[in-house]
Chain A
Amino acid sequence: MTATDPPRTQAPSLFTRARRRLTWVDSFLWVIRVGAVLLIAWGLIGSIQRFTAGLGPTGSQWRDLLVAAIAFGAMYGLIAIGYSMVYGVLGFINFAHGEVFMSGAFIGYFAATALSNGGLWQSNPIIAMLLTLLVSMATSTFMAVLVERVAYRRLRSSPRLIPLITSIGVSFFLQYSFLGLFGATVRTYPTLPPFMTGNIDILGVPVQRSQLLVIVVAAVAMSGLWQFVTRTKTGRAMRAVAEDKEIAALMGINVDRTIVTTFAVGGAMAGIAGMLYGQLYGVSFFMGFLPGIKAFTAAVLGGIGVIPGAMAGGVLLGLFEGVGPLLILGGLGIASPSQLRDAVAFSALVLVLIFRPSGLFGEAVGAEDRA
Chain B
Amino acid sequence: MSIQEFVDTATDGTPAPEGEIPVLEFRAVDTFYGAVHILKNVDLRIQPGEMVCLLGGNASGKTTTLKTILGMVEPAAGEVRIDGEVANGWTTADRVARGVSMVPENRRLFKRMNVLENLRIGAYLRNDDEIDADLDHIFEMFPRVKERLNQKAGTLSGGEQQMVAVGRALMARPKVLLMDEPSMGLAPVLVQQNFEIIAQIHEAGTAVFVVEQNANMALSIADRGYVLQTGQIVLADDADKLLANPQMREAYLGEMPD
Contacts and interface: CB of A to CB of B under 8 A. Distances in A.
Given A236-B117, A236-B121, A253 B93 contact: yes
Contacts of B120: 236
A247 B92 contact: no
Contacts of B117: 236, 239
**Residue from the set B96, B110, B125 with the largest chain A CB neighbour count within 10 Å:** B110
B108 A252 contact: no
Nearest to B109: A247
B172 A252 contact: yes
Query: Main SS of the interface on chain B?
Result: mixed
Contact of A251 (B72, B112, B122): B122
A1 B72 contact: yes
> What secondary structure prevails in chain A residues at the interface with B?
helix
Nearest to B168: A251
Contacts of A252: 92-93, 96-97, 124-125, 172
B113 interface: yes
Given A1-B72, A2-B72, A236 B92 contact: no
Contact of A243 (B67, B72, B111, B122): B111
Interface in A97-127: none
Give the interface size class of chain B: 20 to 34
A237 B113 CA distance: 11
A250 B93 CA distance: 7
Given A252-B97, A253-B93, A240 B67 contact: no
A244 B124 CA distance: 15
A254 interface: yes
B108 A247 contact: yes
A249 B113 contact: no
B87 interface: no
A239 B122 contact: no
Contact of A369 (B67, B102, B111, B121): B111
- Size category, A interface: 10 to 19
A244 B121 contact: no
Interface string A232-268: 0100110110011011011111100000000000000
B70 interface: yes
Contact of A239 (B67, B101, B104, B113): B113
A358 B111 CA distance: 18
B72 A240 contact: no
Given A250-B92, A252-B96, A252-B172, A233 B108 contact: no
A236 B120 CA distance: 9
Interface of A: 1-2, 233, 236-237, 239-240, 243-244, 246-247, 249-254, 363, 369
3 tightest CB-CB pairs across the interface, nearest first? A252-B96, A252-B125, A252-B93
Interface of B: 67, 70, 72, 91-93, 96-97, 101-102, 104, 108, 110-113, 117, 120-122, 124-125, 168, 172
Given A237-B124, A249-B72, A251-B122, 15 more contacts: A1-B67, A236-B117, A240-B121, A244-B110, A246-B108, A247-B110, A249-B92, A249-B93, A250-B70, A250-B102, A251-B96, A252-B93, A253-B93, A253-B124, A363-B112
